[in-house]
Amino acid sequence: MGLLRSITGPFGASEDKVDDVQSNEPEELVTRPAFLVRCIVFSDTDNDVDSVKTTLHFAGIINDEGEFVDNLEGVSIFHTGDYLDKKNPDLSVVQYWQSLRREAIGKGCYVKLIAGNHEQEIWQRMRAGEKYGMGLGQTQILNDFIESLDLFHIVGPVLLMHGYPTLEFLQTLLHFKDITGKDLNRFNHDHYKRAFISINGMRQYAYVKESQKTNYLLYDVADANRYYRKRGKLIGDILEKLNIGIIVHGHKPRRSGTQADYEFSEWIPKIRMIGNDTNVSRKGIGATVFRLTSRGAFDMDFINTDTESDELRRKVKGILSEPFESDAEGLFVDTQPPTGGR
């Protein structure tokens, strides 16, 4: 019953109270886009935009003046959440991402913004009366920005989200798929956006600390390795049914600043999980870039202070600008880590 209740309305919210929630995106941007897909993914920038600009410049997406370059058709910029410091949100950061999203459209570039636990917590505190030293107009801008963010996004076989996917969350997505037959990205509009009806509604998605007494869909698992060791087979089976083979996420509070490829591959061998919490606000540069085709070709690399080089700069620009010559290159989605790992 708990799963069904989450589908029909968060914490018992009636349908007639939430039907006015509207998507701000055209239908073609809600569903999974056509291939070839080329993406750069940020996460956990925590009130910082300078590191974002540095990384976008390194990747050849903006020029020395901070303006978008030409020929970005088909490139996507993702951010998987925590744009803001949850204790001291900076409205100029919101304005930067809003402006970036508007300017990107003119260059054929798609910007997709996903909610982090910081944004969710800020929204809950504002709903409870916290003003963060802002006036009414400023808090309204902040509120509207947070409510515009999606919980996750799926592009081809890749799931992008803020934190680790939990069994309850994936079961809910599978239930949504089986019941509605809709593209999974529609869950954001049909159900996640409805959680903004109340603080309790948002808590089921807000990556709260794991507790056996709660029945939330997303939460911080106390020990991720132990969690996936116990639930990995079932989680892998569900992801296969959802046609998801790759997960890119941020939010690694106990291992912040570390990018990782093939996380938990011992427990979920068919899934390539990629951790992208680079601690970029302290290190000054950081993102994951990837491209893929409809036939499964996949090329990925990490940008961080250890990998930063002219060679990587050239490779990243190639990933984001040059299509595969053919799927025969051998760059296919792996089901096992390569010898020695990455």
Tell me the pLDDT tens digit for each residue of 311-332. 999 999 989 986 555 443 433 3
* Token pair in block for residue 95: 């304005």
pLDDT band at 93 (very low <50, low <70, confident <90, very high): very high
pLDDT band at 2 (very low <50, low <70, confident <90, very high): very low
The pLDDT assigned to 136 comes to 95
The pLDDT assigned to 247 comes to 97
H/E/C letters for each residue in 7-49?
A: HHCHHHCCHHHCCCCCCCCCHHHHCCCCCCEEEEEECCCCCCC
Does the pLDDT value for residue 18 go beyond 90?
A: no
Q: CA nearest 244: which of 331, 313, 161?
A: 161
> Which CATH number applies to 37-162+244-329: 3.60.21.10, 3.40.50.300, 3.30.70.2860, 3.40.640.10?
3.60.21.10
Does the pLDDT value for residue 14 go beyond 60?
A: no
Query: What 3-state class would DSSP assign to 133?
Result: coil
Does the pLDDT value for residue 254 go beyond 80?
A: no
The pLDDT assigned to 209 comes to 83
Comparing 23 with 67, the larger pLDDT belongs to 67
8 A C-beta contact, residue 248 and residue 288: yes
Domain boundaries, the chain: 37-162+244-329
Q: CA nearest 155: which of 62, 67, 35?
A: 35
Would you call the peptide bond into 36 cis, given omega within 30 degrees of 0 as the criterion? yes
Does the pLDDT value for residue 281 go beyond 50?
A: yes
- Average the pLDDT over 19-45 and give the result: 62
Cα(291)–Cα(311) distance, rounded to whole angstroms?
18
Place of tokens 């939460």: 219
pLDDT band at 256 (very low <50, low <70, confident <90, very high): low
Task: For strands 75-79 and 272-277, give the pairing.
Answer: unpaired
* Token pair in block for residue 198: 């109340």
The pLDDT assigned to 35 comes to 53
Task: For strands 37-42 and 287-292, give the pairing.
Answer: antiparallel
The pLDDT assigned to 294 comes to 67
Q: CA nearest 274: which of 285, 264, 282?
A: 264
Does the pLDDT value for residue 288 go beyond 50?
A: yes
Q: Percent of the chain having pLDDT more than 90? A: 70
Output the average pLDDT for the chain. 84
Comparing 216 with 12, the larger pLDDT belongs to 216
Q: What is the pLDDT of residues 126-173, one digit of tens each?
A: 999 999 999 999 999 999 999 999 999 999 899 999 999 999 999 999
Q: What is the pLDDT of residues 183-210, one digit of tens each?
A: 999 999 999 999 999 999 999 999 988 7
Q: Percent of the chain having pLDDT more than 70? A: 81
Does the pLDDT value for residue 88 go beyond 60?
A: yes
Q: 213: which residues sit within 8 A by CB, 6+ positions away?
A: none
- Average the pLDDT over 72-78 and give the result: 92
- Average the pLDDT over 290-296 and give the result: 79
Comparing 37 with 124, the larger pLDDT belongs to 124
Comparing 223 with 78, the larger pLDDT belongs to 78
- Average the pLDDT over 79-107 and give the result: 96
